[in-house]
Structure 1
Amino acid sequence: MTDAASSPFDDIRRLIVSMPGPDEAAIEAVRLRDRQLTKPAGSLGRLEWIAEWLAAWQAKPLPSVDRPLVCVFAGSHGVVARGVSAYPSEVNRQMLENFAAGGAAINQICGAYGLGFKVFDLALDMPTQDFTTGAAMDEKTCVATMAFGMEAIAGGTDLLAVGEMGIGNTTSAAAIYAALYGGAAEHWVGRGTGVDEEGLKRKVAAVEAALEHHAAHLKDPLEILRRLGGREIAAIAGAILAARQQRIPVILDGYVTTAAAAVLNAIHPSTLDHCVAGHLSAEGAHRDVLERLGKIPLLALGMRLGEGSGAALAAGLVKAAAATHRDMATFDQAGVSTSLS
């Protein structure tokens, strides 16, 4: 690791310190309008909270979702050579072709909800190093990949859903969680793409070997990211930070995407205030992670597909919340009485 005074990670830490906070005036404007809408107070439950959350981070008294975007980042992992996945690394490239052809689940979800969709190839033909024997990335590569994630959302969007694709990346996510939170590797490791019992044992063994190999370097969350993460996880972390700077609310996808968020949260808890958890994944200990992050998922459908699918479904819900708040009539507009008198 480079000397802390000249670490490539310093710019990331400075960026986190300078992030904008919520717009309190916009929140109050939403609450004022909500009291005038043709419904009992609080009757729309979390949809009302979603409208406030959108306003807070868009800094708009009347929040809207006009240009929603799903970004999927794809990476390749050297740890796949340890037999931790039911599928070979070649599937990464094949799935990107499936995305491009419009044949994946995420394509159908985005089409159904009117969401923009972009997928980013993060050097799929160059796997990260096997993190059981070395760092997955050096600092320069990790920071450059985070910077790529920051640039990926340029072009204007008002709601960002982030997801990933990468054979082996649930092993990487499990290792990150174990490094951040401690506990037995078995607690954090799930079946990913559907490994059998022997495959599950290999995943646990890989996480245990990684934790042992990197034990002296796991105090710094960014070190955890570069040593145990993947390019897609680093890029997602960058996208989350850029969204905050640009006042774009973020919907997190499942187990792997949340690993990127967990790294940022470990640096400073307020880093994720502009993020919501799109869904509760069936993979690994996602519920445990979300509880630690203080995030209540919008959906719980037993999904574990990845590729931004849960976040995209949640984006449809967020669109509905914004439309309801914006377009519902007030009591005065509808001529509805507000009392019995």
Structure 2
Amino acid sequence: MQPFFLQGTVKPAVPFDKDADATALYEAMAGFGTDEDAINAILTKRSNNQRQEIKEAFKTKYTQDLVDSLKDELSGDYRKTVKALMDEPAVMIARCLNNLCQCGGDKMEIGLLEIIYPLSATDVLGIAAIYKETFSTVLHEDVSKSDTGPFKDVILNILVGERSSSIRVDTAAANDDADFFFKTKPEDWQLPNERVETLFGRASISQLRQTFTQADAANNLSLEKVMQDSKMDETQKAAFTVIFKSMCQPLGFYVDSLYWAMKGLGTDDDKLIRIVVGRSEIDLASIKKMFKEKYPTTTLAAMVEDDTSGDYKNVLIGIINADAAPTPAPTTT
């Protein structure tokens, strides 16, 4: 059951002094060496809006761009994480989408679905506008050039605004579509399939949730479980899993995404950074709680500790545990 009240870990610092923070960050980078702990202590304990104010204060006081200064001082996945923290949320998502368009392949299509499928139609169009402003290219055109997978048309329909934004559910249509999933084999859901493509690319989030919930009830088993036990193509299974889970279990979707980003050999650092930073002010505290409930032998923080290292680890842990012990903001005297 999705919790009604969701909580992030990162909240606005109170009191907050943008000039004092700008000075502290400047001093952390001045001279020989960099005080990464000081950088983390500020950036992981300020809301995104506050970070934007710090960025402006830094520019005014030192006539330097704060993000450029940080990038010059930092490296690797640590630099990626700090850059994500300093971007406005929609810009961060636009950068993630652009990176996926550069890589192509199956990873691109699953990554695109993971990012855009949980978003409302309005949010997607807003991100598409930011994408054009940031990269001077059109998001759906970049995707069209790079994506050759079976879910390409579903993704493009969402990106160009074909997904309904209605909160009203067409009960008859939901019953009919649920009946389709109940009476057919998962192998017959696979794309290309005009009926499934239309539903996935055009139906509202409310409509999809009602359809999948009714199909689950008819099967007395989740569509995801029915599909996983089938002979469906593995790549399509991964895409269907994103769609089913992000609609029916939004919080669980992020819990599992984080778990599998770190489980096994290697770490999907791009996904880890995107979710930890992107959900930090929305529902990361709730994700952290559900993570422990679903995977009782570990915690989100413990897995991050095991899978990352150095300043990269410290900044991620700082975000994950930002709700644990408030850090007083520096004040000017």
Bin of the TM-score, shorter chain as denominator length: under 0.3
Between Structure 1 and Structure 2, the one with more helix by share is 2
Between Structure 1 and Structure 2, the one with more strand by share is 1
Q: State the structure with bigger RCO (CA 8 A, min sep 6), 1 or 2.
A: 2
